[in-house]
Amino acid sequence: MTDTPRNLSINGPRLWQSLMDMAEIGATPKGGVCRLALTDLDRQGRDLFVEWCRGAGCSVRVDSIGNIFARRPGTDPDAPPVATGSHLDTQPTGGKFDGIFGVLAGLEAIRTLNDLSIETRHPVEVCVWTNEEGARFPPAMMGSGVYAGVFDRDETCAIADHDGVTVGDALDAIGYRGDLPPGHQDFAAFFEAHIEQGPILEDAKTEIGIVTGVQGIMWYDLTVTGAEAHAGPTPMPLRRDALAAVGGLLPKIYAIAHDNAPHGRATIGEFRALPGSRNTIPGRVELTVDLRHPDADVLAAMDRALRQAVAGVALETGLDFDLSHVWTSDPIAFDVDCIQAVREAAAERDCSAMEIVSGAGHDAVYISRLSPTAMIFIPCEDGISHNEAENVAPADVERGATVLLNAILKRAM
Ligand code: HGY
Ligand code: MN
Ligand code: MN
């Protein structure tokens, strides 16, 4: 058994440059990135990553939902790979680092192993999971969910965006519908590095988050149907105004999170009043609801509270309220041995570190169903993410990727 190299250093400037080069693809005027899943910009980002991986001596394979697997061979080809990675797709007003940091930190780990001519017994693999964000095609964590068998591949390929383009069509349009079946291999371990996307590490002046788990998420679509009518001649009591009706519901939705403070979350991210003309009474309102909590029982109670609130307002207003459940990601706990590998790697680097539960969903949630998994967080400026102002310090990027490499080595030798 070869001794495990400890406390290796990655090449911080090289990783930072790769992040900046990748951020050029879909760059927005306010300094963010818009690279929606399975668009041509996503293709360009994928192509650049594949080119870099091939340049680092990796073989590259793609599965039938577009997940990319870049493999650095190990001395034992039969050993299951130790994997890392995240996502390259972004929110519409996303930042340079959400997901991308985890993908390129994985590539930097491979580049560093090459620089040091270190051979590992297990292959080391960097994964790019398709459509983690769920912004264009719900649900989120789509590629990793198909990989883990949570979502059926063919049903997922039939999901369409607001323009009626399906996931399958979009995969074909960018040339990333591969031939590997979903879940083609297990991993010896999976480590995902990610920015925290919240303020906890920065407030605690802590360099590394040892992520012990991820909170639960529930997504819904709500459609309220009334009747379009003329804004002038229609007396107020005779209206079936879908927007006026939903106005009484919104405070009740936010109250569900406040009633379950401090961890409860409620977000209405999409909201459309149709037909969207100032002198036509809206006959239809479409909105999305995102509820979150780390405790499964509390999340179930929040779900019940939402359904009761919707039913109550529907009764009061007499309009039709159609609440459809889109997705649930249960709260999960990561693998204790992988968490320990992260903890040791951070300690060997003299990083200040703390345990943290992730408020955001990540591909590691679904991969943890198949393989021992853990995550590494680095702080982000003012805890901001899903925002073009998203920013991290180069020193934090270097530190997080260093801890990632050393955690991987603890399982790959
Ligand atoms: O929604 C999430 O938590 C993740 O950013 N997809
Ligand atoms: Mn992410
Ligand atoms: Mn995100």
Specify the residue with its C-alpha closest to ligand 1, atom 4.
361
Pocket test for ligand 1, best of 132, 220, 270, 291 (most atoms within 8 A of CB): 132
What is the C-alpha to C-alpha distance for residues 276 and 37, in angstroms, rounded to an integer? 27
Closest among 93, 87, 125 to 107, alpha carbons compared: 125
In tens, the pLDDT along 4-29 reads: 788 799 999 999 999 999 999 999 99
The CB of 360 under 6 Å from ligand 1? The reply is yes
Ligand 2 centroid – CA 133 distance (Å): 7
Q: Specify the amino acid at residue 315.
A: L
* pLDDT number for residue 359: 96
Closest ligand 1 atom to Cα of 386: 5
* pLDDT number for residue 5: 80
Ligand 1 centroid – CA 241 distance (Å): 32
Mean pLDDT across the chain? 97
The CB of 291 under 6 Å from ligand 1? The reply is no
- Give the 3-state secondary structure of residue 174: helix
From the number of C-beta atoms within 10 Å of its C-beta (0-12, 13-18, 19+), residue 275 rates as exposed
Ligand 2 centroid – CA 98 distance (Å): 5
What is the C-alpha to C-alpha distance for residues 304 and 293, in angstroms, rounded to an integer? 14
Among all bound ligands, the one having the nearest atom to the CA of 329 is 1
Mean pLDDT of 48-74: 98
Output DSSP code: residue 237: G
Residue 403, both tokens: 């801890």
The CB of 249 under 6 Å from ligand 1? The reply is no
Mean pLDDT of 204-218: 98
Pocket test for ligand 1, best of 362, 387, 390 (most atoms within 8 A of CB): 362
* pLDDT number for residue 2: 63
Token look-up 């697997």 returns 69
The CB of 140 under 6 Å from ligand 1? The reply is yes
Helix axes 12-23, 100-115, angle to 10 degrees: 140
Does residue 349 surpass a pLDDT of 60?
yes
* pLDDT number for residue 6: 80
Mean pLDDT of 340-347: 98
The CB of 37 under 6 Å from ligand 1? The reply is no
* pLDDT number for residue 217: 97
The CB of 133 under 6 Å from ligand 1? The reply is yes
Name 272's bridge partners: 286
* pLDDT number for residue 1: 52
The CA–CA distances, whole Å, from 105 to 49, 173, 399, 404 equal 12, 28, 10, 8
From the number of C-beta atoms within 10 Å of its C-beta (0-12, 13-18, 19+), residue 371 rates as buried
Q: What share of the chain is helix, strand, coil (3-state, %, to 5)?
A: 35, 25, 40
Peptide bond into 275 cis (omega under 30): yes
What is the β-pairing status of strands 353-358 and 208-214?
parallel
Percent of the chain predicted with pLDDT > 70: 100
Pocket test for ligand 1, best of 141, 268, 328 (most atoms within 8 A of CB): 141
Closest ligand 1 atom to Cα of 141: 6
Closest ligand 1 atom to Cα of 385: 5
* pLDDT number for residue 3: 79
- Model confidence band, residue 299 (pLDDT cutoffs 50, 70, 90): very high
Token look-up 């760059």 returns 27
CB–CB of 403/111 below 8 Å?
A: no
Among all bound ligands, the one having the nearest atom to the CA of 195 is 2
Ligand 2 centroid – CA 156 distance (Å): 20
Percent of the chain predicted with pLDDT > 90: 98
Closest ligand 1 atom to Cα of 361: 3
In tens, the pLDDT along 99-121 reads: 999 999 999 999 999 999 999 99
In tens, the pLDDT along 244-260 reads: 999 999 999 999 999 99
What is the C-alpha to C-alpha distance for residues 200 and 182, in angstroms, rounded to an integer? 35
The CB of 361 under 6 Å from ligand 1? The reply is yes
The CB of 216 under 6 Å from ligand 1? The reply is no
CB–CB of 312/346 below 8 Å?
A: no
What's CA 82's distance to the chain center, in Å? 20
Mean pLDDT of 162-171: 98
- Model confidence band, residue 189 (pLDDT cutoffs 50, 70, 90): very high
